[in-house]
Chains A and B, each alone.
Chain A
Amino acid sequence: MSGDISIANLSKTYKTDEKETVALADFSLEIKKGELITIVGPSGCGKTTILRMIAGLMEPTSGTVTVGGKCCQGPGPDRGMVFQDFALFPWRSVRKNVEFGLEVAGVPKAERRERAERYIKSVGLGGFENAMVHELSGGMKQRVGIARALVTKPDVILMDEPFGALDAQTRNIMQTELLRITDKTDTTVIFVTHSVDEAVYISDRIVVLTKRPAKIKEVIEIPWPHPRDRSSPEFTALRKKILKMLESENIQPDGSTGAVA
């Protein structure tokens, strides 16, 4: 089905002079359209590497990524990306940042403007179209980042610790916002995070990785409806279970929100 993502035997090996470091071994995952997948794992286990390979910003050593039946070669607007440090263009206004993907695709100006405005509104930034990036708070910046990634109607958005630079309160608000936005647009999301709490709160499925060389340790399905209650017994139980898994990988997860029992 179009929009489904298939990741097959993805591996990455770094070669330095005489040493070979396996960063990721044999990562395979089938993702259905509209699903929200989070990837958690010990620090430095290669979570970002997976995202960058799906995005086409990094060449895998072996394996393939297929989006909607097509094999991906290099980066493209069918796979949007949201960055931890936002990576907005500071010389462009909010509107011009969101329009970027449409601009490079040659969408006519009027249509570009109309579509960008719609997405700016949908991330809750209506009225800030002409603001410059440095005038926005962290949470608002990431809303622009999300709108910019969504405006080209990608099959999937790849989020690399998108809320890692935000304070705890803003982070919780943004999690709810993300669910609202992606639910409405039926966008598939692959989300890398350090925070187990965040993962349990937003995911349809959580992929837990082992330490390097990263392999899939377990895939946990969470069928609970939204909004989820962070203080409910099953929520805390699942969080504890995942934290245990990560601890057994020897390295403490450093997610500040997630680490608190």
Chain B
Amino acid sequence: MNLELLNYDENDKSHRFIRKMVISAVSLVVFFLIWWNLALLLNNPAVPTPRETWDAMLYLFDKGDMVSGMTMWGHMSISLQRFIAGLLIALAVAVPMGLLLGYSNTINEFSSPTLEILRPIAPIAWAPIFLFTVGYVWGPILVVFVGIFFPMLTNTIFGVKKIEPNWVDASKTLGANKLQVFTKVMLPASVPYVMNGLRIGMGVGWMCIVASELYASFGGGVGYFISIQAQFGYWPNVFVGIVLIAILGLLTTGLSDYAYRTIVKRMGIE
């Protein structure tokens, strides 16, 4: 594209913003055109057009679906609640544990064999066991927890290990005891790394929640909705579920990206 014709100025912030918006819009239009044409071309009931999906979405938000008797709002709120619960538990466990493992070599050496065995297991592999043992409410929450836990733990440990030795020395010469070095230096210094772990974990968390709900045979949630609609062959509804997961995922990761940037900037680190 010849941008000179449009008086495009690379150094102008608003020009750059408009350019980005235009390109993004074009990209979305192209995406929908491909989807639309593919749907027409395949002529398969399992691949509805954007239009059919949109109509189904309006209906589902308004009246709900016949199988579960819930509107899309209900399913979304169930998934979101599970997501947040898993996230909070992961935060509460991974951060203190990461600080401890980063701080003490002995504890790190003690726990790393176990952690290294557990880490490569796809979180969703736990779904059958969790759903069977703790049920359809806590099952998906635990799967989300496992998914978010590892990136958060690894990043927190890394954060503690990366702390400037001079910060620790400075605090010691100023009279800080061991506990104060921990709470007043190590803890705040690792916040950007914890936030980075959170940001990565968020993405994993959404995959976990939907996958584990797909597996559950009741209890609501967007994943459950998709699985049940597929069984009945309501394909436009299935697509609605997929689109909503994409939107929810985009919103939460966008939010955590924003939180990460704001906090790192405010703290003056990096």
Contacts and interface: CB of A to CB of B under 8 A. Distances in A.
Mutual binders A and B: yes
Interface in A141-193: 148-149, 152, 158
Interface in A17-67: 55-57
Contacts of A134: 268
A180 B165 CA distance: 30
B189 interface: yes
A64 to B, nearest CB: 18
A90 B269 contact: yes
Nearest to A52: B169
B172 interface: yes
Contact of A91 (B166, B171, B174, B189): B189
B269 A87 contact: no
B174 A152 contact: yes
Contacts of A105: 175
Contacts of A148: 170, 174
B268 A75 contact: no
B179 to A, nearest CB: 10
Contacts of B170: 81, 83, 87-89, 148
A139 interface: no
Given A83-B170, A134-B268, A91 B188 contact: yes
Contacts of A89: 167, 170-171, 185, 188-189
Given A87-B166, A89-B167, A134-B268, A75 B184 contact: no
A79 B269 contact: no
Contacts of B180: 104
Contacts of B177: 104
B267 interface: yes
Contact of B268 (A57, A76, A90, A101): A90
A132 interface: yes
B171 to A, nearest CB: 7
A214 interface: no
A80 B174 contact: yes
A235 interface: no
Nearest to A90: B268
Contacts of A80: 173-174
Interface residues of A, number: 29
B191 interface: yes
Contacts, number: 73
Contacts of A158: 173
A163 to B, nearest CB: 16
Q: Give the interface centre of A74, A89, A134, A152 by most chain B CB atoms within 10 Å.
A: A89
A170 B269 CA distance: 25
B175 A87 contact: no
B171 A85 contact: no
A74 B268 CA distance: 30
Interface in B146-178: 164, 166-167, 169-177
B269 A77 contact: no
Contact of B164 (A81, A87, A132, A149): A87
Contacts of B188: 89, 91
Interface of B: 164, 166-167, 169-177, 180, 184-185, 188-189, 191, 267-269
The 9 closest A-B CB pairs, nearest first, are: A77-B175, A87-B166, A101-B174, A90-B268, A91-B267, A81-B173, A87-B170, A134-B268, A75-B172
Given A91-B267, A152-B174, 4 more contacts: A81-B170, A90-B267, A91-B189, A148-B174
17 contacts: A55-B173, A57-B169, A77-B173, A77-B175, A87-B164, A87-B169, A89-B171, A89-B188, A91-B191, A91-B267, A104-B174, A104-B175, A104-B184, A133-B268, A134-B268, A149-B173, A158-B173
